[in-house]
Each structure stands twice: as C-alpha cells, then as structure tokens.
Structure 1
Amino acid sequence: MFLGTHEPKLDEKGRIILPAKFRDELANGLVMTRGQEHCVYVFSAREFETIHDTIRQAPVTSKQARDYMRVFLSGATAETPDKQHRVTIPSSLRQYAGLDRDLAVIGAGSRVEIWDAEAWQTYLAEQEAVFANTAEEVIPGLF
C-alpha cells in the first residue's frame, strides 16, 4: 500500500528517485500513465495487470469505456527502476501533468501519483475544505 507525501526533484534527464517507502513494491517494474486531474499515475506491474484485466471487461459498445480505455492505455509506459532507484518519466507524461523540477509524489493506496508540486498544493488547498466539511457518506460503509 502506498501512503504519504514525498517531495523529490525531477533531474535534467526527466528522472526521479523513487521514495524509499515505495521502492520494494515498484522494484520489479511499474507502469506510468495519465492520471485524472492531470497527474501521473504509477502502478506496480502486478497492480496494473489487475487493472488491465478489469478494463478489458468493459463493453466495447460503450463509447465512454472506449474513450477512457484509449486515453488511459495510450499514455501508459512500463519502466524498471535502475540501481539508484530512479525512473524516467516520459516527456509526454511530464507535459501532460505539467511537471517541472519540484514534484509531489503521493501514496494513493494502490497507486502512486506524481504531481507538479505547485499544482498539488493548489489541489490540496481546494479539497481540504471540501474534505473537512463532507456531511454525507462518500465512501460507502466508511464515512
């Protein structure tokens, strides 16, 4: 499970050093793709296989499913961290997420999200008030 917020820097070659707490889960390979809210999603290779199996079950007759599948999978790239625990974020994903030097890498349970640090702070500031004031059940059975 991926938890917490980390603040690595993007190097001149478009690489980041994976946070120490995430390395074991991602050491055998990972998949990066476009995330919602213009971040980069990072899944362990094993988790991405599970997601792909679920996506494959979507009805081909659903335009919304086809559209989602195309955007999600066309941006995906498989990577393996090097010996220094670095991975390269492809330029297309860096551009999509507006990634510059300063990043926020957050644990989101089954995935990691990579955000531009400023974009993350803006998003978090907007969502914290909503989170604090939520008066209805958002996640069934939890809150």
Structure 2
Amino acid sequence: MFLGTYEPKLDEKGRIILPAKFRDELAHGLVMTRGQERCVYVFANAEFEDMHDKIRQAPVTSKQARDYLRVFLSGATAETPDKQHRVTIPPALRAYAGLDRDLAVIGAGSRVEIWDATAWQTYLAEQEAAFAETAEEVIPGLF
C-alpha cells in the first residue's frame, strides 16, 4: 500500500527518483497514465493489470466507458526504474499534469500520484476544509 507525501525534484531529463518507501513495490515495473484532477497516476504492473481487467468489463456500447478507456489507456506508458530508482515521466504526461521541477508524490493506497507541488498544495487546501466538515457517510461502512 502506498502512503505518505514526498517532495522529489524533476531533473532536466524528466526523471524523478522514486521515494524509498515505494521502491520495492514498483521495482519490477510500473505504469504511468493520466490521472484525474490533472495529476499522473502510477500503478505497479499487477495493480494496473487488475484495473484494466475491471475497466474492460464495461460494455462496449457505453460511450462513457469507451471515452474513459481511451483517455486512460492512450496516455499510459510502462516504465522500469533504473539502478538509481529513477523513472522518466514522458513529456506528454508532464504537460498534462503541468509538472515542473518541484513535485508532490503522494501515496493513494493502490496507486501513487505525481502532482506539481503548487497544484497539490492548492488542491489540498481546498479539500482539507471539506474533509474536516464531512458529516455524512461518504465511504460506505467507514464511519
């Protein structure tokens, strides 16, 4: 499970060093793709395969499912970390998420999310108030 927030820097070649706590789970390969809220999702290979299996069960007759699948998979790229635990974020994904030098890499349970540091701080500030004020059951069975 991926947990925590880390602040690596993007180097001049578009690479980041994976946070130490994420390395074992991502060492044998990962898949990066467009995430919602303009971040980059990073999945361990096995998790991505499981997710793809679920997505492809959606009916091909559903336009919404087709649209989601196209956007999600067309931006996907498989990577394997190098010996220094670095991965390259492709230019198209860097542009999609507005990634510059300063990043926020967060653990989101089954995936990692890579955010522009400023965009993450803005998102977090907006969401923390709503999080604190949640008065109803948002996630069934949690509260």
In 1, distance between residues paired with 2:51 and 2:126?
29
Which residue does the alignment assign to 2:24? 24
1:8 aligns with 2:13: no
Which residue does the alignment assign to 1:127? 127
Structure 2 counterpart of 1:29, one-letter code: G
> What number of residue pairs does the alignment pair up?
143
Q: Taking structure 2 as the reference length, what is the TM-score of the superposition?
A: 1.00
Q: CA deviation at 1:36?
A: 0.1
Which residue does the alignment assign to 2:96? 96
Task: Encode CA deviations 1:87-120: one digit per residue, 9 max, x unaligned.
Answer: 0000000000000000000000000000000000
Which residue does the alignment assign to 1:49? 49
Structure 2 counterpart of 1:17, one-letter code: I
Q: Secondary structure at the match of 1:16?
A: strand
Which residue does the alignment assign to 1:61? 61
Q: CA deviation at 1:80?
A: 0.1
Q: CA deviation at 1:35?
A: 0.1
Q: Taking structure 1 as the reference length, what is the TM-score of the superposition?
A: 1.00
1:79-118 equivalences in 2 (<5 Å): 79-118=79-118
Structure 1 counterpart of 2:113, one-letter code: E
Superposed structure 1 runs of 4+ greater than 4 Å apart: none
Which residue does the alignment assign to 1:77? 77
In 2, distance between residues paired with 1:28 and 1:138?
35
In 1, distance between residues paired with 2:59 and 2:113?
27
Structure 2 counterpart of 1:32, one-letter code: M
Let me know the Cα RMSD of the aligned residues.
0.3
Structure 1: unaligned runs, 5 residues or longer: none
Identity, in percent, stands at 89
In 2, distance between residues paired with 1:122 and 1:59?
36
